[in-house]
Amino acid sequence: MTVAGPRPTTLRLGIDLGGTKIAGVALGDDGHALAELRAPAPRHDYDATLAAVAEMVRALERTAHGTGSIGIGMPGSLSPASGLVQNANSTWLNGRPLQRDLEARLGRPVRLANDANCFALSEAVDGAGAGARSVFGVIIGTGCGGGLVFGGALIDGPRGIGGEWGHNPLPWAGPAEHPGPKCWCGRLGCIETWVSGPGLEADHAQATGSRLASEAIAARAAAGDAAAQASLDRHSGRLARGLAHVVNIFDPEVIVLGGGLSKLVHLYAVLPGLVSPYVFAEQARAVVKPPVWGDAGGVRGAAWLWG
């Protein structure tokens, strides 16, 4: 005689491998989260990173009482040519066969994608871009990434960099913006050096001599501080030019902002008007929306890598 236990559930596991934390979600059939977990990410230790991801998979499946497909959002991307990690600011992952090593450790297939791509996919599937044919998901936080979704699928080309706009130069740069700050990627004046959180903070510090966090700059501007408002204005103008450059190529129906600076609510009011003068079309206004899933977009999009 067999005793019937609870039927194991088929899950979609999503894991967001960040620089300081690993977040995980187990989605049921209907997209509801059955388990959500967080753990510190090992730093500067590749083998410990593999072990931590494997432990997150086990913990999610224990908590959600099932087994599932595994999708992982990561900094940087896998080079389609070599299968090795490239462009990760968690530099201890670069040059490593992360997919192969995780599959060997877990004994099943794993899909990996850039974390900004996962965010874009999540918001396109059932977030702020739901129902739109084309979505540009933008991460503006510590860094500046992006992902393009068309017809429900990520645009991920032969180099694995679809939607990466942060390391193009700031478009329509004025004399005071050229050549621009040095970027960690080795170039000067990348969009990321201007519009990321650290970019806004460095620009404000240079203008005022006062080093403040992005939220504090926004709070001071809201309280009537003219210098803080000027910093926000420079920042939103640069962000708008960066977005307009992508609009002129991809023409997305919806732009969704993510990352820490997506919490700066003034951006949704000012960006459509600031983007317009740079867009090569009669209907030049952009639709810019806040994320529906907030910080959970990365893990949810990772789970959706299996459709």
To Zn ion, the closest distance from the beta carbon of 165 in angstroms equals 11
Closer of 167 and 241 to Zn ion (Cβ): 167
Among the candidate windows 33-41, 93-101, 163-171, 292-300, which touches Zn ion by CB under 5 A?
A: 163-171
Among the candidate windows 169-177, 184-192, 208-216, 289-297, which touches Zn ion by CB under 5 A?
A: 184-192
Among the candidate windows 27-35, 179-187, 279-287, 291-299, which touches Zn ion by CB under 5 A?
A: 179-187
Closer of 166 and 252 to Zn ion (Cβ): 166
207 forms part of the interface with Zn ion (CB under 5 A): no
To Zn ion, the closest distance from the beta carbon of 145 in angstroms equals 11
* Member of 50, 183, 246, 267 binding Zn ion (CB under 5 A): 183
Give the total of residues touching Zn ion (CB under 5 A).
Answer: 5
To Zn ion, the closest distance from the beta carbon of 191 in angstroms equals 8
* Member of 167, 235, 238, 245 binding Zn ion (CB under 5 A): 167
238 forms part of the interface with Zn ion (CB under 5 A): no
To Zn ion, the closest distance from the beta carbon of 13 in angstroms equals 32
To Zn ion, the closest distance from the beta carbon of 70 in angstroms equals 31
Residue 291's contacts (CB-CB under 8 Å, 6 or more residues apart) are 119, 123, 127, 128, 256, 257, 258, 262, 297
* Member of 48, 104, 153, 185 binding Zn ion (CB under 5 A): 185
26 forms part of the interface with Zn ion (CB under 5 A): no
To Zn ion, the closest distance from the beta carbon of 136 in angstroms equals 19
Report the C-alpha gap between 104 and 139 in whole angstroms.
Answer: 31
190 forms part of the interface with Zn ion (CB under 5 A): yes
Closer of 19 and 290 to Zn ion (Cβ): 19
Closest Cα to residue 23, out of 293, 300, 307? Answer: 300
Q: In the complex, which residues of this chain contact Zn ion (CB under 5 A)?
A: 167, 183, 185, 187, 190
